[in-house]
Amino acid sequence: MDKPVDLPVFDLLKVVKTRPGAERYRLEIPAFAVRRGEAIALVGPSGCGKSTALDLLSCALRPDQGERFVFAPAKDELRDVLACWENGGVNALAPVRMRYLGYVLQTGGLLPFLTARDNILLACKALGIVHERVEAVTEMARTLGIASLLGKYPAQLSVGERQRVAIARALAHRPTVVLADEPTAALDPAHSALVMELFLQIARSEGVAVVMVSHDQEMARATGFKLVSMQIRSTDEGVVATLRHQASAARLQDRIQEAS
Amino acid sequence: MAGCFQMLQLACADYRHEKLLSLCSVLGLAAVLTPLLILYGVKFGVVETMTERMKNDPRMLEVSPVASGRFEAGALQALAKEKGVAFVLPRTRSISATMKLATIPKASERRKSCIVSLEPTAAGDPLLARFGCDVPALHLEKRDPAEAKPQGGLGVNLASLQLSGAVLTQEAAEKLGCAKGDMLVGSFERAFEGKISTARVKIRVTGILPLAAQQKDGAYIPLALLEASEDFRDGRGVPALGEENGWSGEPVPEGERVYPGFRLYAASLDDVPALRERFAKRNVATYTHAEEIAQIKALERGLNVIFSLVCAAAGLGFFFSTASSVFAGIKRKERTLGLLQLAGFSTGAIMLFPLVQVVLTALFGTGLASLVYLAIAHVINSLFQGSLQGLEQVCRLLPVHYALALGAAAGLSLLAALGPAWRSTKIEPSEVIRDV
């Protein structure tokens, strides 16, 4: 695999999202960058907005303000997310999302009226790449232990089986970015380890950027994820959460710039 | 667009998956649509039957002058060319338009006779055409008067009589006991200058009009024979019919013939009132069936208004019930739509989801309503079979009506679903994809 001097997949600077409501909540991202092939686990106390952060990264949630928010899922694909939200709304980023993003929810990420197989192949069908991906998907289903369940409907599967199908769905169309919100919460330890290793493996061998929210810090660190903590503090205006992470190369670049 | 086509498939898959709820909406539409179809079917069938019966009855199209007038031959010929006139023929004075018909009996039979009133006819007569009778003609042959010899029990030389065809009414034919093709003797009497004389012709029956066409004792004969009858009774001679046969008298004066009346048929039901107006403007009062025709048209208009009102009320109810059920459906499927948006389907494709499903409901609902309608229409038509003839139906719908019903159901459904579908695009994925 070639290693170009490439941009980070995510490059955020001073992005803010406020959630209105009874408890005023504010997520601040002073700096956040994820490189290709990097596997990050977001950890922090509950209610600190890890899911909000994930939604912002998936380009399905509009930030309130920001200085820079660049999404570069592939070599020739670069999106100024803030500008896209300004001009096209949610539709501007939809095609990019469909092609390059894999999203795993904690539970219930499957469409109830499709079989497991049709759920997994949803994005592949929309992109017209079913033919190419069939082999890889079959292999993945075998790895995840769901090969025999493909003809069943989600209602007929256990929570753990549904979760594994959801993971297969997120990876089926060969995304370059995987966002996972507590993907192993419903799985037993054996399957949890299996899934985390699967994520690491595709990160290393295929350069997929993985951002995972997990409460199982130990297993994440042991598998090889880089842990990123989110801080929260209470202020007069409500709860404020902070997310900060800079890819090592980017930090180096900053230092070089500071020096010169 | 691939996204839209796949969205179609997804919407159908979801529709199939929610079998019971989908069935409920199909039944709901069928329940509203079936009575409307039956109502319209009965209205259309009844009005169509009445209109067809009128159209097929030439007497509905007849326009006759009330009183005697003075109509020149040329004027009547011009009338034939006017818009809305299908057929026009002059009538002679009614007092002279009678003839005595007698059978030619064989050896032991009794002679039967009957006096018939006469009407003129010619090629293109709608009344004869409607009842399948051939138009009679006058067959004049040159005869040598020197060959006149009495023959037959009447003291009449049958061989010397000229021949004319005639169409008799059923009443007359029954009185004479004759059928199509039979030969009769027609005689005309006059009292002129103190003498009574008779002129005769041979009559071949070319057809018999059923009771439905004409009820009195009558005969439809060529105009020329009718004119001859009028001339004869005015004391004039008609040499063409043979002086030896009684047709002697003074010569007919020069000049255009003037008739007291005419037989006229309009080209269609809609022309009848127009013709009546036109004649009224020319100071000719006419008998027409315009009132009956107007009554049927008014009935149709009234029924249309009633049907439209019922339809509007049903449509309004259907609109609101569809809008509310689509809205409820979208609330129920918020998570699915949020997931689809997250997966990268555009808002346009997302909108298609509920819209495709209402179209499916419209399709199946209209299909079901049509099937139930057909069953009920069959029952209704069977009940009324006694009073219908041939292909008439009390309850009837054309294919275009079914198409209109489907179009209206689909259109109204789409309209009702548009609002909620638009709202569905405003769903924020991050809010609905998690169980809070």
Q: Is B433–A128 a contact, with Cβ atoms under 8 angstroms apart?
A: no
Tell me the two tokens of residue A227: 């842990």
Q: How far apart are CA A43 and CA B185, in angstroms?
A: 123
Looking at per-residue confidence, does B387 or A93 come out higher? A93
Q: What is the spatial distance between Cα B406 and Cα B29, in angstroms, rounded to a whole number?
A: 11
Global pTM reads 0.75
User: In this predicted model, what pLDDT tens digit does every residue of A185-200 receive, in sequence order?
Assistant: 888 899 899 999 989 9
Nearest to A46 by CA among A239, A246, A244, A245: A239
> How many angstroms away from the CA of A249 is the closest CA of chain B?
31
Q: Long-range CB contacts (< 8 A, 24+ apart) of B101-106?
A: B101/B168, B101/B172, B101/B176, B101/B184, B101/B185, B101/B186, B101/B203, B101/B219, B102/B176, B102/B184, B102/B185, B102/B187, B103/B176, B103/B177, B103/B178, B103/B182, B103/B184, B103/B185, B104/B152, B104/B158, B104/B183, B104/B184, B104/B185, B105/B153
Residue A40 lies in a domain: yes
Q: Tell me, yes or no, whether A5 lies in a domain.
A: no
- CB burial readout B7-21, b (16+ within 10 A) else e: bbebbeebbeebeee
What is the pLDDT at residue A1?
A: 43
Contact A98 B341 (CB under 8 A): no
How many other C-beta atoms lie within 10 A of the C-beta of residue B26? 20
Per-residue pLDDT, averaged over A130-158, amounts to 92
Contact of A106 with A182, CB cutoff 8 Å: yes
Q: Is B433 on the interface with A (CB under 8 A)?
A: yes
Beta bridge partners of residue B72, listed in sequence order? B258
B-chain residues within 8 Å CB-CB of A95? 344, 346
State the pLDDT at residue A3.
Answer: 43
Q: Is residue A159 part of a domain?
A: yes
Query: How many alpha carbons lie under 13 Å from residue A201 in its C-beta half-sphere?
Result: 9
Cα–Cα distance, A110 to A114 (Å, whole number): 8
What is the overall mean pLDDT for chain B? 87
Beta strands at A39-43 and A25-34: parallel, antiparallel or unpaired? unpaired
Chain B residue at shortest CA distance from A96? B344
Question: Whole domain around residue A240: which residue ranges?
Answer: 10-259
Selected residues 334-363 of chain B with any CB under 8 Å from a CB in chain A: 335-336, 339-348
Mean residue pLDDT across chain A: 86
For chain B, the structural domain boundaries read 2-56+294-432, 93-259
Report the residue of A90, A125, A181 to disrupt the B interface, i.e. the one with the largest count of B CBs within 10 Å.
A90
Long-range pairs of B50-57 with CB within 8 A, sequence gap ≥ 24: B50/B296, B50/B299, B51/B269, B51/B296, B51/B300, B52/B392, B53/B392, B54/B269, B54/B292, B54/B293, B54/B296, B55/B268, B55/B269, B56/B130, B57/B130
Report yes or no: B130 at the A interface, CB cutoff 8 Å.
no
- Give the E-state strand segments of B98-242 in sequence order: 98-103, 113-121, 138-139, 163-169, 183-192, 195-209, 218-222
Q: What is the nearest CA distance from B351 to chain A, expressed in angstroms?
A: 13
Q: What is the CB-side half-sphere exposure of residue A148 using CA atoms within 13 A?
A: 1
**Other CB atoms within 10 A of residue B234 CB:** 15
Verify whether the Cβ–Cβ distance A105 to B429 is below 8 Å: no
> What CATH number corresponds to the domain at position A219?
3.40.50.300
In a domain, A116, yes or no: yes
Residues B73-89 as b or e (16 or more Cβ within 10 Å = b):
eeebeebeeeebbbbbb
Total number of residues shown for chain A: 260
Residues B397/B373, Cβ–Cβ less than 8 Å: yes
**Rounded to whole angstroms, what are the CA distances from B419 to A200, B32, B167?**
45, 22, 72
Q: What is the mean pLDDT of residues B369-387?
A: 90
Residue A68 maps to a domain: yes
What is the rounded CA–CA span in Å between residue B326 and residue B412?
13
- Say yes or no: ipTM exceeds 0.90: no
Q: What is the pLDDT of residues B214-256, one digit of tens each?
A: 888 899 999 999 999 999 988 888 888 888 888 888 888 888 8
Residue range A64-115, pLDDT digits in tens? 989 999 998 888 888 888 888 888 777 888 888 999 999 999 887 899 999 9
A-proximal residues of B, 71-100, CB under 8 Å? none
Among B342, B352, B427, the residue to mutate for chain A (most A Cβ within 10 A):
B342
Domains of chain A: total: 1
A152, part of any domain: yes
What average pLDDT does the segment B273-292 reach?
89
